[in-house]
Amino acid sequence: MRKLAFMGVFLLVAAMGCKDDDDETETPTPVLPELKVTSTLAGTTAIPANPSTATGEVEGTLDQETRILKLNVMYSDSAMSDTTASDSLMPFVPTAWHIYKASADSLGTSVINLGTTFTSPFAFTDTLTADQVTDLKAGNYYLNIGTAKYPNGEVRGKLTAAE
């Protein structure tokens, strides 16, 4: 009889422990979407603006889960391929490129140095901090390419991050 009573208590406890299992569902961890990062670079958006014929494009992605930013930077100068252009034109040869934090109409602080390899196209990868991801998504970053003629920036473009 004790065995039967013990088994009955055991089954009752087991049943009570499982009674809420069907009602509880775990909310899956949301997966953040990969963001597309883009920019158009021009002298007209540099500060101060300049008449440079150089242009550029930035295309890339931001993985919000890993915070890995991948950019492909391309630049060119249409005047340099024009054989009728004046010999006094200085070729567009980058000397520095950085990502800065600032509003669209002001100079900012360099937050990411893209290095000293100046090729077009150029592939760049970096892992951002959580604060940098927030700033990028808020539109607070721009990419700036400096040259000997315009050391503070010959072409510039605001980086936008969107789904």
Query: Which tokens belong to 128?
Result: 């951002």
**148 domain residue, yes or no:** yes
Domain range holding 70?
A: 31-81+89-162
**Please, which residues have CB within 8 angstroms of residue 139's CB and are 6 or more apart in sequence?**
104, 158, 159, 160, 161
**102 domain residue, yes or no:** yes
Q: E strands, the chain, where?
A: 35-42, 54-63, 68-77, 94-101, 109-113, 122-127, 141-147, 155-158, 160-162
**21 domain residue, yes or no:** no
CATH code, 97: 2.60.40.200
pLDDT (tens place) for every residue of the chain, 163 residues total: 555 555 555 555 555 555 555 556 777 777 889 999 999 999 999 999 999 999 999 999 999 999 999 999 999 998 766 544 454 467 899 999 999 999 878 999 999 999 999 999 999 999 999 999 999 999 999 999 999 999 999 999 999 999 9
Contact between 37 and 159 under an 8 Å Cβ cutoff? The reply is yes
**71 domain residue, yes or no:** yes
**38 domain residue, yes or no:** yes
How many structural domains does the chain have?
1
Element of type H or E holding 6: helix 2-18
**61 domain residue, yes or no:** yes
